[in-house]
Structure 1
């Protein structure tokens, strides 16, 4: 840690080339860089008292590659030395990466079999789990999340956990799937009541519970 802090406070020209992301990329290829080193190249400069290597390491340690995709302006400006300009630069990088990923072929959910393919592992679970699947207006898969876990056949689900991820994914449709470890395929009375509640709440919030 002391060595890292020593490096972070140095000017880049004072560091050996093996520690410099640009020189490393030119020598070994861009694919040889860590996420932190890639971010350092994209940012170009650090902040007062910390070079770009230290800043990038700090950001990646704080948020990680997954959370960085959904980080907010206010999250970044809480970091000492990062103002709105630098925060917007980081957000632009994250948004660009998301758009590149979104150009990849998307999974379209148009039938029960399509849904089954992405949730079939549930049949092997011994605990009851509620899985929420999120789609856009074209029924393209945006993501899936386990929103509740029970003990044996007891499941306590909260609507706010389901809608939290709907907002996170900027989703239109929500598909809910859960298993019955005891083997029953029929929805319980509680399942039906909870689904009806979610349908009502989803309409109020601008989402739609899909029945594919």
Structure 2
């Protein structure tokens, strides 16, 4: 059977290009292994080498258990490549065991107000921040979304929800500071909050509150009945 170098095959069939095009979840075990191996041997391309390994060790758990010596039995897998394979498999195992970090719990608007005062009180420019929460109101991410004057055309809701979708957040608490020291919401603040809440309703992510920080004090739109 004729042997082809990977570069002689259509680029659309290269595993790295396929991952970029369709995403890692749609690649076969052989394609993923080929990406990790990076290169084959003089007699076979990297896809053929990956296929040979998976034919000899078809069970992925057994592949994880294979020793460096066992991996080196395959032509094209030297000590360095075998060590890299072992490292990648162990790293994947550790990622699989990892849990999403929790940064505390959103107990109330008052608790969130105190948190945001500490985060935002010293800034001389407006900072828009978001706390992303799971269904149990546990904080799973804190992110600065925007720095500058807050208005609808610059601080777009998509920047807020992009992160929420990425980490599967169920709820969001927003906050920004007023460098003037007066936390009373402006019309821009109210219009922006309304727009973000409407976007959240459309995609099923609740906006818990929008808190404005001034000089060691805060204004909660939810507490002050702007949430109807």
TM-score normalised by L of structure 2: 0.51
Displacement of 1:93 in angstroms is: 3.2
Matched, 1:176 2:174: yes
Q: SS at the partner of 2:189?
A: helix
Displacement of 1:169 in angstroms is: 1.9
How many aligned residue pairs are there? 139
Matched, 1:51 2:52: no
Q: Hey, what does 2:94 align to over in structure 1?
A: 93
Displacement of 1:95 in angstroms is: 3.0
Q: Hey, what does 1:198 align to over in structure 2?
A: 196
1:114-161: CA deviations, max 9, x gaps?
A: 2134322210111111001111122111111001111xx456311111
Pairing of 1:117-156 with structure 2 (within 5 A): 117-119=114-116, 120-150=118-148, 153=149, 156=154
- Summarize the Cα distance change of 1:201–1:55 in structure 2 as closer, same or farther, 3 Å threshold: same
Q: Hey, what does 1:70 align to over in structure 2?
A: none
- Summarize the Cα distance change of 1:110–1:127 in structure 2 as closer, same or farther, 3 Å threshold: same
Gapped regions of structure 2 (runs ≥ 5): 1-37, 39-63, 210-221, 223-228
* Equivalent-residue separation in structure 2 for 1:203 and 1:162 (angstroms): 14
- Summarize the Cα distance change of 1:116–1:56 in structure 2 as closer, same or farther, 3 Å threshold: farther
Larger radius of gyration: 2
Gapped regions of structure 1 (runs ≥ 5): 1-8, 10-40, 60-85
Displacement of 1:201 in angstroms is: 0.7
* Mapped contact 1:131–1:148 kept (Cα < 8 A): yes
* Equivalent-residue separation in structure 1 for 2:111 and 2:65 (angstroms): 38
* Equivalent-residue separation in structure 2 for 1:180 and 1:199 (angstroms): 21
- Summarize the Cα distance change of 1:184–1:106 in structure 2 as closer, same or farther, 3 Å threshold: closer
* Mapped contact 2:103–2:141 kept (Cα < 8 A): no
* Mapped contact 1:174–1:209 kept (Cα < 8 A): yes
Tell which has more relative contact order, 1 or 2 (C-alpha 8 A, sep 6+): 2
* Equivalent-residue separation in structure 1 for 2:186 and 2:66 (angstroms): 53
Matched, 1:112 2:109: yes
Runs of 4+ in 1 over 6 A off after TM superposition: 41-47
Q: CA RMSD in A?
A: 3.5
Q: SS at the partner of 1:210?
A: strand
* Equivalent-residue separation in structure 1 for 2:137 and 2:208 (angstroms): 9
TM-score normalised by L of structure 1: 0.54
Q: SS at the partner of 2:164?
A: helix
